[in-house]
A and B are shown apart, each in its own frame.
Chain A
Amino acid sequence: MSTLTIERLTVGHGDGAAVLDGLDLEVPAGGVVALLGANGAGKTTLLRALLGLVPVRGGRVLLDGADLTGLPTEDRARRGLALVPEGRGVVAELTVAENLRLGALWRDAGRGHTSAARDAAVGQMYELFEPLARRRDAAGHSLSGGERQMLALARALVARPAVLLLDEPSLGLAPLVVAQLLGVLRDQARATGLTVLLAEQNVTGALSVADRGVVLSLGEVVADRPAAALAADPALRHAYLGF
C-alpha cells in the first residue's frame, strides 16, 4: 500500500495565472479519496501535474516519501502511478486485448515479470469486466462509451498500480454503467489495498465509494472531511458543488 503526498504544489498553464497555488493534500495508503469540484476547479490540472504532463512551478509530489518531481511521465507510471485520463484515453487503433497488454507491460516491473503472468493478469480483467472479454478482438474505436471506460479502468488496474488516479470516469455515461464501474473500483480498492484519488463532478457517486472527500474550488481545498459527513452537509454542497 502506498501513500501519495502533495506538498505546496503550484501549477499553471503557459504563463497564465496559477491554477493551483500551494496545494497540500495527502492520499493515505489504501485510502479512497474523492476529489470534488465544479468545472474549472482544477481537478484535471492537478491529476495531470501529478503525472508530469503539466509542468509544475513549485512544490513536490511524493510517492511513499520518494520525490517524483522532475521524473518524466513514463517513469512515474513505471513507479506505480496510474492515471485514467479525462475522455478515457483508450488507444482507438489498438484492440481491447492490445490495450490491456500495453497496460500490463510494467506490471511488477523489476520483479521478473513473465509474459505468462501478464496474460493471467489480463485474464483476470476479463473476469472482472465481462463485456471486454466478449469484445477482446474489437478495435478501441468500435467500443461504446461504457465499454471504453471499462477498458481504461481495466488497463490501469492490470498494471497493479500503487496509486490510481481517475479523472471523471462517470462523464457521459448512463447511471447504471456508472454504478457498475464505481462498484468494481470500490471492490478492487478494498481487495488489493489500492490507493485511489477519484476526481468527479458526480458527487453522490464518488462519495458512495470514497472514505474521504476533498472539495476543490478555484484551485484551493475548501473542505476535507469524511465522505459521509460531506454527503450530509447541504450548505457545503450548495456552496461549492451547486446542488
Chain B
Amino acid sequence: MERLVFLLSTGLARGAVLALFALSLVIVYRAARVVNFAQAALAVVPVYVAFAITSATGSYWLGLAAALATGALLGTVVERRLMRLVPQDNPLAGIIVAIGLVMVLQAGLAIAFGPDHRPVHAPFPQRPLEVGGVGLMSPYDLFVLVVAAVVMGGLALLFNRTSLGLQLRAAAFAPETSRLLGVRVPRMVTLGWTLSIATAALAALLLVPTGLGLDPHAADVLFVNAFAAAVVGGLDSPAGALVAGLSVGVLVALVTGYASAAAAPPAVLALLTVVLLVRPQGLFAAREARTA
C-alpha cells in the first residue's frame, strides 16, 4: 500500500512533465498539422543554454527563463527559416526535414559540449517527503507539478479566453476561412511553433534533474512517451494530452516499481495499441462535422 501511494505520487509528477511535452506536440500539430519529430532535439538545446546560464550565474531561475526564451526563439526561427520552406503537399517532406534537423542539432550539441552526461541539480530536494510515515513525492516533484499546472492553466487561458487564442484556434482548424476573416494565418503558425518549443523546453528542463543528467539525447525517451500520450489523447486535443500524459506517467511508474524499468516501454506500447484498436482517432479527438 505504501509503495503504491509512493509510486502513484511520483508517477503523477513524471506524468505532469509528459503531459506538458505532449501538449507541446499537440500545439504544433494543431498549428501546422505536423508531428514534429525534431521536438526532443529542439527541447534539449534550450536546456543546454539553461545549464550554461545556471552554471555561470548560480541562479536556477535565470536558467529557467533563458530556457523558455531560447525555446521560443528556436521555435520561431525553425518555422520561419526552415519548416515554412518545406512543400506542404506531402507530409513526408516535413518529417524528413525534421529528422535531418534532429541529426544536425544532436551532432552539434555533441561536438560543442561532448557526448557525456552532465549531472544537473534540482532547485529543490529530491528525497520523498514523508506524511504519516508514508513516503510521497519529493519537494522537487511538487515543484514540477505546480509549474506544469501553472503553465497548462496559462496556455488554456491564452487559447480559450483571449482573441489571440481564438485566432490561433481558428487558424489551426480552418486556415482559409480564417484568412477570409482577416486572421494572419502564417503568423499564427509561427506563434504555434514559438509556444510549442518553449513548452517542450520547459518540460525537458523539468525532466533532466530526475534522470541521468543532460546529454544530447536527454529528451528522447520523453518524446517517445509523450508522443504515445498525445496519440492516445487524440493528437489535436489539449485535454487529451493532459489526461493521457498523466496516465502514461502513472503507468510507467507502476510498471517500473512493480516489475522493472525494462518493462515500461512495452507497457506504453501496449496501451497505445489497445487505445488505437478501440478508438483509432484517440480518446479526446474532435467529433466529425454534421453532414445534414
Contact B290 A74 (CB under 8 A): no
CB within 8 Å of B: which A79-104 residues:
82-83, 85, 89-94, 98, 101-103
- Give the complex CA separation of A74 and B181 in angstroms: 7
B130 within 8 Å of A by Cβ?
A: no
Contact B292 A102 (CB under 8 A): no
Contact A141 B289 (CB under 8 A): yes
Interface string of A49-74 (1 = CB under 8 A from B): 00101000000000000000000111
| A94 touching B181 in the complex, CB below 8 Å, given contacts A105-B163, A141-B288, A145-B292 | no
- Give the complex CA separation of A141 and B181 in angstroms: 19
A126 within 8 Å of B by Cβ?
A: no
Contact B169 A143 (CB under 8 A): no
- Give the complex CA separation of A230 and B245 in angstroms: 64
| A91 touching B163 in the complex, CB below 8 Å, given contacts A78-B182, A102-B183 | no
| A53 touching B178 in the complex, CB below 8 Å, given contacts A91-B170, A94-B169, A98-B166 | no
Total A-B pairs, Cβ < 8 A: 79
In chain B, what residue has the closest Cβ to A75? B182
Contact of A102 among B167, B287, B290 (CB under 8 A): B167
| A74 touching B179 in the complex, CB below 8 Å, given contacts A89-B174, A105-B163 | yes
Contact A74 B173 (CB under 8 A): no
B185 within 8 Å of A by Cβ?
A: yes
Given A85-B176, A85-B180, A89-B176, 11 more pairs with CB closer than 8 A: A73-B179, A74-B179, A91-B174, A98-B166, A98-B170, A102-B166, A105-B167, A105-B182, A106-B181, A139-B287, A141-B288
Q: Sample 28 A-B pairs with CB under 8 A, ordered by A number.
A: A53-B176, A74-B183, A83-B180, A89-B177, A89-B180, A91-B170, A91-B173, A91-B177, A91-B178, A92-B174, A93-B169, A94-B169, A94-B170, A98-B166, A98-B169, A101-B163, A102-B170, A102-B178, A105-B163, A105-B181, A105-B183, A106-B181, A106-B182, A115-B163, A140-B289, A141-B288, A141-B290, A155-B181
Seen from chain A, the residues whose Cβ lies within 8 Å of a Cβ on chain B are 51, 53, 72-75, 77-78, 82-83, 85, 89-94, 98, 101-103, 105-106, 109, 115, 139-145, 155, 159
